[in-house]
Each structure stands twice: as C-alpha cells, then as structure tokens.
Structure 1
C-alpha cells in the first residue's frame, strides 16, 4: 500500500528534478583498465620534513610555519607540489580543449596564467583534514565568454579536476587581462 502512495510523488519529484537539471556530458574512464600513458614515481623519505626523489625531481620538504614547522627556505611541501601540478595540468587541459570550441589560446606563455591555491583544511588535532582549491585563470586577448567556455570544458577533461571532483571543494575564477 505504501508503494502506491509514494510512487506518484516519486514520479513527480523525478519530473521536477529532471526539468531543473543541467545536462553535463560526462565521460567515464575505467582507470583500472585504461591504457597507461605515463608513469610518475616518487621516493619519499622523512614525510613532511624529508626528501623526495623522482626521475626528474629532487625536492627537500619542510613543515610550513603555519602548521608548526620551521618553514625552511628553499624547501617545499605537499600542498605546494599539488598546487603546481593542478595548475599546470589545468592549463594544459585548457590548451587542449580550446580548438574544439573554436577558441584560440594566446601564443605567448605570459598571456595565459593559472594561479592555483591549495589549502589544507580541517583539524590536525583530530586528524580530520582535507584540501580546498581555488584556481584563478587569467588570459589576455580573449573574450570572457570564450574563456569561461574553455574553463568549463577544461574542468571536464583535466585529470586533476576529475580526480578531485566530489572530494575537494574547488572554485575557478576567470579574468581577462
């Protein structure tokens, strides 16, 4: 009896939600079975105050002063590395998707900038932490509407954006220069 009562309400709710939904094309890739395009490896010793070695990477790490560490000059931390990787990957995604949208990206590297901010948020005391990301995309010589189209499409294809979607609160702001 209860299913007869709720079925019409459920159908109505689905019709309303489908009318208000924005159709976003979604690609699904099975990362377990997809062909490997590149492999990066890092050898980490000493956690946040240690050292990282990779094929083309040698980085000393420090605990930032904001988290109670020494914040040693010339050393970095995981959040800075993540910000660098996300920003570079996102900008590459923008360059890759622009032609499919009929948009030409600037040819001078200084005319397209992605400023990425990664924040470690939560509680260290309770060991309940996460990340929050802000991307500021600045492009010279492009209409704001075109830039926003490129950024939206880049969010759909950038591996960092896809990996963090639903897990990391991310905002993207666009500015024309």
Structure 2
C-alpha cells in the first residue's frame, strides 16, 4: 500500500442501517432489531470466561470475512473472473494496548484456488480498497492479508 494523503472513505449516501443491542456486555446477549440475530455472549476461556457463547471478536471476524469476500467477488466480477470456490477466513485478536485499553488485530486468509498468484494479489488489493471493513479499520488496527 502506498503512503500519501488520506483518502476520504466515508459514505456519500447511507443505503442500509443495521441495528443491534447488547444486554449485559461480554456476559449477556445481543439482538438485532429485525430479530435475525439473538445470541448469547460470553467471555472466551483465554480471557477468563466459560466460553459458553459467542463473543465480539467472533462476530467481528464473521462480519469482516463475509464483507471482504463480497468485495473480492465484486471486483472479480468487474474484471470478468468467476470466483466460485474462493473463501475468506478472518482471525481477530484482542489484547492490551499502550493506552491502558485494548486493541484488535486482524488476519485475513484468502483462498483463490483457480487464479494465478499475481492475479489473485491484484484482486485482493482491489477488494481491500472496496471493502467497508477494510476502509473502517485502515490506519486504526493491523490487518494482514495472506493468500493461500
């Protein structure tokens, strides 16, 4: 990625708004306004919990991987490539930061089995510019993208 002036990635028009509510923080549940989401939330064992529920990092990983994969399919289709069989997996890590708070790090693993590595890299780079999650996290958290 090239350094240069900041690019404004804010939406010019809001096309959809998702609504979700947390009840009880990391030891409660989350629901969406439309009823599609209703999940128990629990701290993972690595953070001292029982792990008997999902957690914000899993939800972020699910959101980022599905959004990035859609961006990849979009740019692939624009270039005339069928990305059937491709996948994107996300790992989201959490840990303390230097400001006495917590931060995130993301690793995306992209599989494009039918494309040569140079073309795959070109499409992944383009998807990283299109994906709203990539635009929201750019410059805020470390995002590593691995082609496999």
TM-score (norm 1): 0.75
Aligned to 1:5: none
| 1:130 corresponds to which of 95, 103, 109 | 103
Equivalence for 1:169: 142
CA RMSD of aligned residues (A): 2.2
1:142 CA displacement: 1.1
**Which structure shows the higher helix fraction?**
1
The structure having more radius of gyration, on CA atoms, is 1
Match of 2:49 among 65, 69, 74: 69
Query: Matches of 1:30 and 1:89 in 2, distance apart?
Result: 16
Off by >4 Å, runs of 4+ in structure 1:
21-27
The alignment status of 1:139 with 2:112, answered yes or no, reads yes
Distance in 2 between the 1:37 and 1:29 partners? 15
For 1:25 and 1:174, the matched residues in 2 are separated by 28
What runs of 5+ residues in structure 2 fail to find an aligned partner? none
Matched, 1:118 2:96: no
CA distance in 2, matches of 1:81, 1:22: 30
SS at match of 1:38: coil
TM-score (norm: length of structure 2)? 0.89
Offset of 1:30 from its aligned partner? 3.8
Secondary structure in structure 1 of the residue aligned to 2:108: strand
2:82 is aligned, of 105, 112, 122, to: 105
2:20 is the counterpart of 1:42: yes
CA contact (8 A) 1:103 1:146 kept: no
